[in-house]
Structure 1
Amino acid sequence: MGLLDRGVEIKSPEQIDLMRRAGLVVGQTLELLRASVRAGISTGELDAIAEDNIRSSGATPSFKGYHGFPGSICASVNDEVVHGIPGGRVLAEGDVISIDCGAIVDGWHGDAAITVAVGAVPPEVSELMRVTEESMWRGIAAARLGGRVTDISHAVERHVRGQGRYGILEDYTGHGIGSEMHMAPNVPNYGRPGKGPKLVEGIALAVEPMLTLGSKHTELLEDDWTVVSEDGSWAAHFEHTFTLTSTGTWVLTALDGGEAALSALGVPFGGR
């Protein structure tokens, strides 16, 4: 493991393999939660499902106890953009829930998020989810060895702006990840390309666009965790952790390593 560009952690292949193990636990947990989402289930019940699956897989939840956070997932419903605390809230038909999940294996982290509709939702909400997820993949696809971090940022923003009028959160960003969950550098979801640390083999980043149907501005609720849209507009959030290898891009939290989505975008797959 080395340091580059003001504290950016560069991982060895062996360390990336541990991150892949953590990433698979995260990916499998999120798929289990996706299948568990239904009207009548509480966010606390989803949290219990996640913690059980993470621990039974030989991993530790990244979120539980992190700066005092009480859950193993973040569960953010409707106008809650990120960092919602799981608890007694019961999901209803027509809700959307963003589920953010992290796991640690032998000291190495994986981090990813999905947004799931509870039954049928309005077309504009389905479109918001589609654009958010696609923008994440466009951001990851823009990463190339020798490029810069904001190449990712620019690709996310360009895709979003080309799809309609959405609020792109600016106060919350993607991030470096590895021996800690949140590390340098920040990975904004907007901006000009060609800036920030260089993208090199062994870097690991979490790309996570957060979009709303309205304002980019947010408020923090009294629990000091839950971030909501300022204007009450609904939100979506998707995230994956990826790395760059000598042969291409490897999405450590995707069950297939991101191969299908990357191939569709003409990006070489770098998984092992």
Structure 2
Amino acid sequence: MMNDDINLERRRSPEPPIYGPEAFEGMRRAGRLAAEALDLMVEHTKPGVSTAFLDKLAYEFGRDNGAYPAQLNYRGYRNSICASINHVVCHGIPNDKPLRDGDILNIDVTYILDGWYGDTSRMYYIGDVPRKAQRLCEITYESLMRGIAAVKPGATTVDIARAIQTYAEAERCSVVRDFCGHGLGRVFHDAPTILHYVEPSYSVTLQPGMMFTIEPMLNLGRPHVKVLSDGWTAVTRDRSLSAQFEHSLAVTETGYEIFTLSPKGLDKPPYGG
């Protein structure tokens, strides 16, 4: 949960909220700031830099722009970003260990700006990255964009999942089942739940004004994960590489609007040190 003196995590809605024009403006500002933070990371994600340094950078960037990191103190989490390296699927905790040549790194940042949540993540190449790791990142990014392309009024959450799963598995990657996308706006984790694999028993019809994240996690090996004793860090059980990309978006009258696109066009790799 958030600190009481910063922001309270509001109660999850039983049904997906439908937002109007004011919300779109707020989400554009919050989403852009989160995307700018990830742009800022590009010049710093290189061998020898620690994820603790990147965490401090994200906190200071948010502070200087009037925003607060949603992860910080959320359910006891003590950092401003999640930094997930190689076989870490998500929720990696920043530390002082230096990044190494050949690592792949996911940075996940969420800012609260004027009460609105901007949530996004990207993969970064650290130095000279093996081709198999690059390919995983490329497939994961394409999976995200195919999921987003399925968003339109009258479509369903199953359409998003099918677009992601069909492509990922055709490219011989597995889709993680343990984590999912989520609604957001004034609430960090709201309805609807966005699965990245097809589960026919769960289907929500999309309507203009719905806002949510799509954030597929793909593994080079099997989809199974485990959470380490710190209660946060999720890793692949078979130690295979994992990658994730995430955007925040909304359903519009004609399709979708992505709130977290990079102002510098750095949404997809390669970039980084």
Q: TM-score, normalised to structure 1's length?
A: 0.89
Q: Which has the higher contact order (CA 8 A, sep 6+)?
A: 2
Partners of 2:227 and 2:262 lie apart in 1 by: 33
Match of 2:133 in 1: 125
Q: Is the 8 A contact 2:181 2:213 kept in 1?
A: yes
Partners of 1:8 and 1:151 lie apart in 2 by: 17
Partners of 1:257 and 1:191 lie apart in 2 by: 33
Partners of 2:57 and 2:22 lie apart in 1 by: 30
Report the residue type matching 1:229 in the other structure: T
Match of 1:111 in 2: 119
Partners of 2:124 and 2:207 lie apart in 1 by: 33
Of residues 30, 38, 50 in structure 1, which corresponds to 2:46? 38
Q: Is the 8 A contact 1:22 1:103 kept in 2?
A: yes
Partners of 1:36 and 1:30 lie apart in 2 by: 10
Matches within 5 A, 1:199-238: 199-238=206-245
Q: Is the 8 A contact 1:151 1:192 kept in 2?
A: no
Deviation at 1:110, TM superposition (A): 1.0
Question: SS in structure 2 opposite 1:9?
Answer: coil
Deviation at 1:34, TM superposition (A): 2.3
Deviation at 1:193, TM superposition (A): 7.1
2:101 is equivalent to residue 101 of structure 1: no
Partners of 2:43 and 2:144 lie apart in 1 by: 22
Partners of 2:71 and 2:170 lie apart in 1 by: 34
Question: SS in structure 2 opposite 1:50?
Answer: helix
Partners of 1:205 and 1:76 lie apart in 2 by: 22
Matches within 5 A, 1:233-244: 233-244=240-251
Deviation at 1:246, TM superposition (A): 2.2
Relative to structure 1, the CA distance from residue 48 to residue 211 in structure 2 (aligned partners, 3 Å threshold; closer, same or farther) is same
Match of 2:167 in 1: 159
Deviation at 1:169, TM superposition (A): 0.4
Structure 1 unaligned segments of length 5 or more: list them: 262-272
Deviation at 1:10, TM superposition (A): 1.3
Partners of 2:141 and 2:200 lie apart in 1 by: 20
The root-mean-square deviation of aligned C-alpha atoms, in Å, is 2.0
Structure 2 unaligned segments of length 5 or more: list them: 1-12, 269-273
Partners of 2:262 and 2:47 lie apart in 1 by: 26
C-alpha offsets along residues 143-202 of structure 1, whole Å, 9 cap, x if unaligned? 111111111111111111222x21210011111111111111211111067952221111
Partners of 1:257 and 1:31 lie apart in 2 by: 7
Q: Is the 8 A contact 1:113 1:240 kept in 2?
A: yes
Question: SS in structure 2 opposite 1:8?
Answer: coil
Match of 2:176 in 1: 169
C-alpha offsets along residues 30-87 of structure 1, whole Å, 9 cap, x if unaligned? 1111221010000000001111111111111111111111111000111111001112
Q: 38-47 or 117-126, which moves further after superposition?
A: 117-126
Partners of 1:89 and 1:239 lie apart in 2 by: 25
Question: SS in structure 1 opposite 2:248?
Answer: strand
Question: SS in structure 1 opposite 2:42?
Answer: helix
2:51 is equivalent to residue 49 of structure 1: no
Match of 2:33 in 1: 25
C-alpha offsets along residues 218-259 of structure 1, whole Å, 9 cap, x if unaligned? 11111100000001111111000011222432100113599x
Partners of 1:180 and 1:257 lie apart in 2 by: 27
Q: Is the 8 A contact 1:251 1:257 kept in 2?
A: no
Q: Is the 8 A contact 1:95 1:117 kept in 2?
A: yes
